[in-house]
Structure 1
Amino acid sequence: MTAHRARDLAAATVLPLVAALAVTTLGTPADAGTTEPRTVSITAVEPRDDVFLVKGKVRPHHPGGRVLVQRKRPQAAHWQKWRTVRTTDASRYRRRVRQLRRPGVICYRVKVPGDATYADAFSEKVCIRTYWK
């Protein structure tokens, strides 16, 4: 047997072994405890002039759980933790948001931290634009 054939044969036997090891060490999502992802909805409403609310719900049911409201300027690189809010018995949350002091845009999203059953979940972003009349 020539050297290059021996090398090809060795590579052919190592490749399935590496693939089998990767499957057993990485596991499946069910093994990792993330049986199903959470869904987080978010909306921004203005019930009165200059009063804004960021609100939504978490599914599956997450009563009394913590959700992190994050915010970011469009030109910023990262989301910043802004406030922590508890969900109601119906898995809903809401937080009042003050408008910016000067014209501009600020975006919000909600993060639900993972636990033994679920992975971290994020909502879509909502942006509020402030401008002067």
Structure 2
Amino acid sequence: MREIKFRAWDKAKKEWIAKDFHLIGEIMMSGLLFDRSLERLNDIEIQQYTGLKDKNGKEIYEGDILVSYDPMEGEKITILEEDGTKKESVVTKEDLKYSERFVVSIEIRNGTLGIVEEGKWYQNEGSFENSEIIGNIYENMELIK
């Protein structure tokens, strides 16, 4: 069973106010945000841990921005040479310069984990074990524009 935990971003101050906390009803929320006035609670964005990790073992939260390549480093591929022969190869870091790069953000909608790519939400069909967190939508929005 995955661990249920959250992190919180203060939109007005543009800073993380809490990371890796567990939410237990309004009591924990009040304790976490005790120094925030009630009128400022709308400035707080709560993001949930997805239960997944990237290729470096870093926990993936809603709002994280990930990069993935197609094909992936270390993946076995078949190359069709100009003369029609096929050659087996393994993708290297150097090859990644020529592969397609996907940058997506993570979003949970109605309890379903998905990715947002070019403004469209897609239900997640796979894992993120070959992806890498490169930022988040609050501090690095330019990465997905």
State the TM-score, normalizing by the size of structure 1: 0.27
Structure with greater contact order relative to length (CA < 8 Å, sep ≥ 6): 1
Greater fraction of residues in strand: 2
Greater fraction of residues in helix: 1
Larger radius of gyration: 1
State the TM-score, normalizing by the size of structure 2: 0.25
